[in-house]
């Protein structure tokens, strides 16, 4: 499910940003620059909302107005709980594949872990 919440960004003297999502109690994070902070806010909100969904808690309604004190500013963040679950679900999924017999024999003789090798190759290919 996709949610949109207003987030309160506070620039820090170091050039970093603090961000809070007031409608999600305790949802606070920070980032090294604005792009990183927005990404961190989206991640934190999605994690907060996934937990609420998993525990069948009431999802807060986004605020229509928030008070902002200079140098703070308001921005909206999107939290996609379905995407968050896909990216953070590390459960093992069984895959069946076919390789040439000679390659299988060499790999087994070398003590290659097929599962780890496939994971490493997929991560490298997908960046």
* Percentage of residues of the chain with pLDDT beyond 70: 100
- Evaluate if pTM is beyond 0.75: no
Q: Does 28 have pLDDT greater than 90? A: yes
The CATH class of the 2-88 domain is alpha beta
Residue (of 38, 122, 48) closest to 77 by Cα position = 38
Phi-psi region of 52 (alpha: psi -120 to 50; beta: other; left: phi over 0): alpha
18: exposed, middle or buried (Cβ count in 10 Å: 0-12, 13-18, 19+): middle
pLDDT one-digit tens code per residue, 80-112: 999 999 899 887 778 888 999 999 999 999 999
pLDDT one-digit tens code per residue, 105-119: 999 999 999 989 999
β-bridge partners, 18: 10, 30
What is the predicted pLDDT for the residue at 80? 97
What is the predicted pLDDT for the residue at 84? 95
CB atoms < 10 A from the CB of 95, how many?
A: 7
For tokens 């604005």, what's the residue? 34
Integer angstrom CA distances of residue 9 from 18, 75, 122: 6, 7, 36
User: What gap in Å lies between CA 24 and CA 14, rounded to an integer?
Assistant: 26
What is the predicted pLDDT for the residue at 95? 85
Q: Where are the domains of the chain?
A: 2-88, 93-127
pLDDT one-digit tens code per residue, 65-85: 899 999 999 999 999 999 999
């Amino acid at each position: 499910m996709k949610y949109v919440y207003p987030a309160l960004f506070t620039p820090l003297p170091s050039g970093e940003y603090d961000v809070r999502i007031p409608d999600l109690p305790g949802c606070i994070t920070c980032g090294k620059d604005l792009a990183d902070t927005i990404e961190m806010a989206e991640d934190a909100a999605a994690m907060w909302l996934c937990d609420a969904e998993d525990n069948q808690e009431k999802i807060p309604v986004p605020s229509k107005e928030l008070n902002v004190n200079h140098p703070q500013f308001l921005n909206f963040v999107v939290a996609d709980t379905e995407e968050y679950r896909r990216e953070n679900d590390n459960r093992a999924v069984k895959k069946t594949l076919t390789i040439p017999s000679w390659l299988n024999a060499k790999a087994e003789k070398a003590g290659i872990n097929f599962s780890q090798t496939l994971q490493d190759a997929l991560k490298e290919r997908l960046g």
